[in-house]
Structure 1
């Protein structure tokens, strides 16, 4: 089972404001090293602010459009992510409880954890094999 840990954005992360010392990055590095040693770390990275991104809006009439960032509502944005592989929901929950506080004390922040679909969840479709051949979508 694969899980994505999403660090929700804050006003500071959207403004590219970083902590003044190395304690947060050091805590994140230590946590990710533990995940790697346990054979659970699949990927992880921080995301640049939404001002550097865009969205594609798919309309019902087929006239899709590009919307450039920034996006106003930070509680709906992701500032970073980690993808882990766990044997169970309980194991994933145990590890995510240990995830370091993603922003400095005094700032409200949160992480959201979501299980990723595996190709086996879509076995009824013939096209699943194409994803398997590309090496994406799980094992």
Structure 2
């Protein structure tokens, strides 16, 4: 049995200021990512630009309000992420402990399990389940074709 988790690298004041990692950290992260791929764990992973380059859309009933970044409280923002397939939350924690510190100073990495179709119970009708599975397959095919 396996589970998917999102591993979230929390932003810092430096990452929000657009400070780029040095060559040493880039090399260490590259090596770590290579280990994840070889172990069959990494499904995806990316770094995000600072929130100053982002937007938020607030929903209130039928109203939509767009706000430009930057957004306050860097420790609440996401600087990057991985999507992993692991056997357990404990395995994910062990991998995160091996990760190079993604920032120069103190930093946090959060691990969150993804909802799987089974988690939705009877509310996810057979028709909705079939639609979701079909959309996931189509998205995976589209991603493969874009990779060349």
Question: Normalising by structure 2, what TM-score?
Answer: 0.83
Give the gaps of 5 or more residues in structure 1: none
Aligned residue number for residue 130 of structure 2 = 129
Shift in Å at residue 128 of structure 1?
Answer: 2.4
- C-alpha contact 1:52 1:69 (8 A) present in aligned 2: yes
Runs of 4+ in 1 over 4 A off after TM superposition: none
Task: State the distance in 2 between where 1:123 and 1:132 align.
Answer: 15
Shift in Å at residue 119 of structure 1?
Answer: 1.5
Shift in Å at residue 56 of structure 1?
Answer: 1.1
Task: State the distance in 1 between where 2:68 and 2:132 align.
Answer: 30
Task: Calculate the aligned-residue CA RMSD, in Å.
Answer: 1.6
2:127 equivalent to 1:102: no
Shift in Å at residue 5 of structure 1?
Answer: 0.9
Question: Normalising by structure 1, what TM-score?
Answer: 0.88
Equivalences for 1:79-90 in 2 at 5 Å?
Answer: 79-90=79-90
Shift in Å at residue 8 of structure 1?
Answer: 0.6
Counterpart secondary structure, 2:63: coil
- C-alpha contact 1:122 1:128 (8 A) present in aligned 2: no
Shift in Å at residue 113 of structure 1?
Answer: 0.8
Which of the two has greater helix per residue?
2
Q: How many residues align?
A: 133
Equivalences for 1:28-43 in 2 at 5 Å?
Answer: 28-43=29-44
- C-alpha contact 1:3 1:116 (8 A) present in aligned 2: yes
2:113 equivalent to 1:112: no
Counterpart secondary structure, 1:39: coil
Give the gaps of 5 or more residues in structure 2: 138-148
Shift in Å at residue 18 of structure 1?
Answer: 1.6
